[in-house]
Structure 1
Amino acid sequence: MNKQKLYKIRMRETLVSYAFLAPALLFFVIFVVYPMISGVYTSLFNYTIRKFDFIGVDNYIRLVSDPIFKKSLINTLVIVLGSVPIVVLFALFVGLTIYEKHSAIRSFFRCVFYLPVVTGTVAVTVVWKWIYDPINGILNYLLQSAHIINEPIMWLGDKRFAIWAIIIILLTTSVGQPIILYVAALGNIDQSLTEAAEVDGANRWQVFKNIKWPGLMPTTLYIVVITTINSFQCFSLIQLLTSGGPNYSTSTIMYLVYEKAFKLGQFGYANSMGVILAVIIGIISFLQFKFLGNDVEY
Structure 2
Amino acid sequence: MPSRTKATKAAGGDQALVYNQGTFRNSALVRQQTLSAYLFLLPALIFFCLFVVVPMVMCLVTSFFDYRMGKPMTFVGLAQYFKMFKDPIFLKALKNTFILVIVAVPAVTVFSLWVSSAIYKMHSFSRSFYRCVFYLPVVTGTVAVAVVWKWMFNKYTGILNYILSSLGIIQENISWLGDERTALACIILILFTTSIGQPIVLYIAALGNVDPSLIDAAEVDGANNFQVFWHIKWPQIMPTTLYILVITTINTFQCYALIQLLTSGGPNHATDTIMYYIYYQAFKLNDYGYGDAMGVVLAIIIALLSALQFKVTGSGSTD
The bucket for the TM-score relative to the shorter chain is over 0.9
Q: Deviations over 1:46-82 (max 9, x none)?
A: 0001221111111001001100000000000011111
Q: Could you tell me which residue of structure 1 aligns to residue 66 of structure 2? A: 46
Q: Deviations over 1:83-127 (max 9, x none)?
A: 001000000000001101111111111111111000000110110
Task: Tell me the residue number matched to 1:72.
Answer: 93
Q: How many residues align?
A: 297
2:41 to 13, 17, 21: 21
Among 214, 234, 239, the residue aligned to 1:193:
214
Q: Which residue of 1 aligns with 2:202?
A: 181
Instruction: Name 1:243's counterpart in structure 2.
Output: 264
Q: Distance in 2 between matches of 1:255 and 1:290?
A: 29
* Alignment of structure 1 residues 74-89 onto 2, 5 Å: 74-89=95-110
State the alpha-carbon separation in 2 of the partners of residues 64 and 295 from structure 1.
Answer: 35
RMSD: 1.4
**Runs of 5+ consecutive residues of structure 1 not aligned to the other structure:** none
SS in 1 for 2:315: coil
In the other structure, the counterpart of 2:299 is 278
Which of 200, 208, 214 is matched with 2:235 structurally? 214
In structure 2, the residue matched to 1:126 is 147
Structure 1 pair 15–72 and aligned structure 2 pair: CA distance change class (3 A): same
Q: Which residue of structure 2 lines up, in the alignment, with residue 147 of structure 1?
A: 168
Distance 2:22 2:123 in 1: 60
Q: Which amino acid aligns with 2:66?
A: N
Of 149, 160, 181, which residue of structure 2 is paired with 1:160? 181
Q: TM-score by structure 2 length?
A: 0.90
Per-residue deviation at 1:294?
2.3
Q: Give the CA deviation at 1:221.
A: 0.7
Greater C-alpha radius of gyration: 2
Displacement after TM superposition at 1:296 (Å): 4.6
Letter of the structure 2 residue corresponding to residue 50 of structure 1: G
State the Cα deviation string for residues 225-260 of structure 1 (Å, max 9, x = none). Answer: 110110000000000000000111100000000000
- Tell me whether 129-138 or 20-29 shows the greater mean CA deviation: 20-29
Residues 158-212 of structure 1, C-alpha deviations (whole Å, 9 max, x = no match) = 0100000000000000000000000000000011111221122111111111111
Letter in 1 for 2:58: S
User: Who is 2:225 aligned against?
Assistant: 204
Structure 2 residue identity aligned to 1:159: E
1:12 and 2:22 aligned: no
Tell me how far 1:6 sits from its aligned partner.
Answer: 5.7
Distance in 2 of aligned mates of 1:2 and 1:256: 62
SS of alignment partner, residue 294 of structure 1? helix
Q: For residue 314 of structure 2, what is the amino acid of its counterpart?
A: G
| TM norm structure 1 | 0.96
Relative to structure 1, the CA distance from residue 135 to residue 2 in structure 2 (aligned partners, 3 Å threshold; closer, same or farther) is: closer
**In structure 1, C-alpha distance between the alignment counterparts of 2:26 and 2:206, rounded to whole Å:** 42
